[in-house]
Each structure stands twice: as C-alpha cells, then as structure tokens.
C-alpha cells in the first residue's frame, strides 16, 4: 500500500467522522425540540403536579408550594428558548451534515 493511499484513507475516516458528528448533533437537537414540546403539552394538560418536597398536589403553574413553601422557578432555561435553540441547531447541524455527505460522496466515492 502506498503512503498516498493511507493518507486518503485517513482523510476519508476523519471526514466521515465529522459528517457523522454533524448528523448526530442535528438528531440530538431535533430530539431536544420534540421532547421540550412534548413536555410543554403534557404539562398544559395536567393542571396539577405533586410537590417535589412535600408530595402535596399543587397547581402546575404555581411558583411556590402553598403547603411547604418550596420554590419552583419558571425553569432555568425557558422551553421557548430551548425550542428556538434546538430548531436553530437542528437546521444548522442537519444542513452541515447533509452538505458533508454530498462533499464526502464527491470527494471519496465518485472518483
Ligand atoms: Zn410542597
């Protein structure tokens, strides 16, 4: 095997890994979006939830448990921000991944 072939092989493996990473990043972003939307919907349907501290049923929109005073801050990261970020990341990663596949095919398979 010639050195040129070895280099070409390594290039192909690295390019493939980068493309795969982009595709996985895109997939992860879309999963995050779907999960966030799913939780947002299920949370809206159930009007009450059980308190993490005392176990009493409290309103799902309550910021403080009336029974024990446990605070429920409206999420460190808001669902809307997660959805927007997830869609943005999903589109970018998916585009980069698909573009990567295109380049990968042109570069290594269509010779
Ligand atoms: Zn409580």
pLDDT in tens, 19-32: 999 999 999 999 99
Ligand 1 geometric centre to CA of 66 (Å): 7
Digit-coded pLDDT (tens) for 41-71: 777 677 788 898 999 998 877 888 999 998 8
Ligand 1 geometric centre to CA of 50 (Å): 8
* 65, 58 contact by CB (below 8 A): yes
Q: How many residues does the chain have?
A: 111
Using CA atoms, how far apart are residues 88 and 29, in angstroms rounded to an integer? 8
Q: What is the pTM of this model?
A: 0.62
Ligand 1 geometric centre to CA of 60 (Å): 12
């Amino acid at each position: 095997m010639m050195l040129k072939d070895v280099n070409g092989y390594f290039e192909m493996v690295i390019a493939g890994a980068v493309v795969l990473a982009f595709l996985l990043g895109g997939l992860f972003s879309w999963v995050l979006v779907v999960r966030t939307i799913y939780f947002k919907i299920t949370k809206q349907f159930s009007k009450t939830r059980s308190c993490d501290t005392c176990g009493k049923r409290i309103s799902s929109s309550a910021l403080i448990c009336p029974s024990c005073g446990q605070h429920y801050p409206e999420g460190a990261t808001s669902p809307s921000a997660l959805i927007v970020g997830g869609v943005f990341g999903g589109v970018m990663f998916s585009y980069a991944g698909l573009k990567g596949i295109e380049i990968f095919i042109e570069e290594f398979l269509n010779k």
